[in-house]
Amino acid sequence: MPVIMIIMKDSCYTKCQNALEQVTARSGRPIILCCKDDNDICKNAYHTLELPQTVDCLQGILTVIPLQLLSFHLAVLRGYDVDFPRNLAKSVTVE
């Protein structure tokens, strides 16, 4: 089963490494977004997407971009219309 994980070198790094080991021990296929040159993570990963290292406040923005592209391409492969999502309700409030 594929599992998408975001593992950056921050305060949660060791907890994420433990979670990665648990996923691989249960025959999971982790797809990991990690920092460049992170060899400890790459050896346990099924596939990695390496991102540049940056300050903590910008790291979230860098990790969202590949995840948005992944969701877009998965929706296109499944035949969903990405320009008109299902169950989207728009409401306009006039005061």
Question: Would 52 be classed as within a structural domain?
Answer: yes
All residues at 6 or more sequence positions from 78 whose CB lies less than 8 Å from its CB, including other chains: none
Give the CATH number for residue 49: 3.40.50.10490
Tens of pLDDT along the chain (95 residues) come to 889 999 988 888 899 999 999 999 999 999 999 988 888 888 888 899 898 888 888 888 889 999 999 999 999 999 998 888 788 777 777 77
What's the structural domain count of the chain?
Answer: 1
Question: Would 95 be classed as within a structural domain?
Answer: no
Question: Would 24 be classed as within a structural domain?
Answer: yes
Question: Would 59 be classed as within a structural domain?
Answer: yes
Residue 32's domain spans which residues?
Answer: 2-77
CA-based torsion, 40, 41, 47, 48: positive or negative: negative
Q: Give the E-state strand segments of 1-95 in sequence order.
A: 2-7, 29-35, 47-51
